[in-house]
Amino acid sequence: MINAQVRAWLDELGSVDGPDAVRELARDIGPALLATPGLALALVVGEEADAERRLLLFQLLVDDARRDRENGGRLGEGFLLEASGAIVGLAMAGALDRDTAMALAQAYASAGLEAPDCLAAFILDDAADMAEAAAFADDFDTVLDKLRDDTDGDDYMLHAVLNEMLGAIPAPLRSGLVHHVAVRDEAWCGRLALYWLLDAALEVRLTAADGIGERMRHGTLDATAAAPLPLVRNWIPEDDARTALDAVLGDAHRSEFLAHLGGLALRPARLLASLPDGSGSQSVAVELAGEDGPAVALVLLKAGQGVKDAFVASGGRAIDAVREQAEEAASSELAWEALEPILAAALAEGLSAGRPAPPGLIDVAERCGLAALRPRRLTARAWLAHVDPDGEIAALPAAERGRLVNASAHWPHHHPLVETWFEGTAVVAEALERAGDLPQAEAGLWTAIEEQRGFWALLMLKSAHVLKAAGEDADWRSFAATAAALLDDRPLREIPVMEFIFEASIAAWRAEEHGPGDGDPG
**Beta bridge partners of residue 476, listed in sequence order:** none
Q: What pLDDT, on a 0 to 100 scale, did the predictor assign at position 48?
A: 61
Query: Which runs of E-coded beta strand occur in 363-504?
Result: none
Are 450 and 492 contacting, i.e. CB atoms less than 8 angstroms apart? Answer: yes
Nearest alpha carbon to residue 333 among 343, 323, 342: 323
Q: What pLDDT, on a 0 to 100 scale, did the predictor assign at position 136?
A: 52
Measure the CA–CA gap between 307 and 302, rounded to whole angstroms.
Answer: 7
3-state helix, strand, coil in the chain (%, to 5): 65, 5, 25
pTM of the predicted structure, to 2 decimals: 0.87
Hey, what amino acid is at 411?
W
Local structure of 328: helix, strand or coil: helix
Per-residue pLDDT tens for 423-446?
Answer: 999 888 888 888 778 888 899 999
Q: What is the chain's pLDDT, residue by residue, as a tens digit (522 residues)?
A: 457 777 787 777 777 778 888 888 888 888 888 988 888 988 988 766 688 888 899 999 999 999 999 888 889 999 999 999 999 998 888 888 888 888 888 898 888 888 888 887 777 665 555 444 444 556 778 888 888 999 988 999 999 988 887 777 777 778 888 999 999 999 999 999 999 999 999 999 999 999 999 998 888 888 888 889 999 999 999 999 999 999 988 865 555 554 556 555 677 889 999 999 999 999 999 998 877 768 899 999 999 999 999 999 887 777 787 778 878 878 899 999 999 999 999 999 999 999 999 999 999 999 898 988 999 999 999 999 999 999 999 999 999 999 999 999 999 999 999 999 999 998 888 888 887 788 888 999 999 999 999 999 999 999 999 999 999 888 999 999 999 999 999 999 999 999 999 999 999 998 888 754 444 444
Measure the CA–CA gap between 385 and 494, rounded to whole angstroms.
Answer: 24
Q: What pLDDT, on a 0 to 100 scale, did the predictor assign at position 323?
A: 78
Q: How many residues are given for the chain?
A: 522
Q: What pLDDT, on a 0 to 100 scale, did the predictor assign at position 124?
A: 65
Q: What pLDDT, on a 0 to 100 scale, did the predictor assign at position 499?
A: 97
Query: Which runs of E-coded beta strand occur in 97-204?
Result: none
- Which one-letter DSSP state was computed for residue 371? T
Q: What pLDDT, on a 0 to 100 scale, did the predictor assign at position 361?
A: 97
Are 345 and 335 contacting, i.e. CB atoms less than 8 angstroms apart? Answer: no
Q: What pLDDT, on a 0 to 100 scale, did the predictor assign at position 474?
A: 84
338 CB burial (10 A radius; 0-12, 13-18, 19+): middle
How far is CA 496 from its chain centroid? 30
What are the structural domain ranges in the chain? 4-133, 136-257, 266-377, 383-514
Nearest alpha carbon to residue 76 among 31, 39, 107, 46: 31
Q: What pLDDT, on a 0 to 100 scale, did the predictor assign at position 134?
A: 44
Q: What pLDDT, on a 0 to 100 scale, did the predictor assign at position 520?
A: 45
Q: What pLDDT, on a 0 to 100 scale, did the predictor assign at position 257?
A: 52
Are 196 and 205 contacting, i.e. CB atoms less than 8 angstroms apart? Answer: yes
Which residues make Cβ contacts (< 8 Å) with residue 49, sequence separation at least 6?
Answer: 10, 13, 14, 57
The 266-273 sheet, strands edge to edge: 306-314, 295-302, 281-290, 266-273, 332-334
For the chain, percent of residues with pLDDT exceeding 90? 52
| Dihedral, CA of residue 141, residue 145, residue 146 and residue 147, to nearest 10 | 100
294: cis peptide before it, omega within 30°? yes
Helical (H) or strand (E) element with 296: strand 295-302
Q: What pLDDT, on a 0 to 100 scale, did the predictor assign at position 268?
A: 83
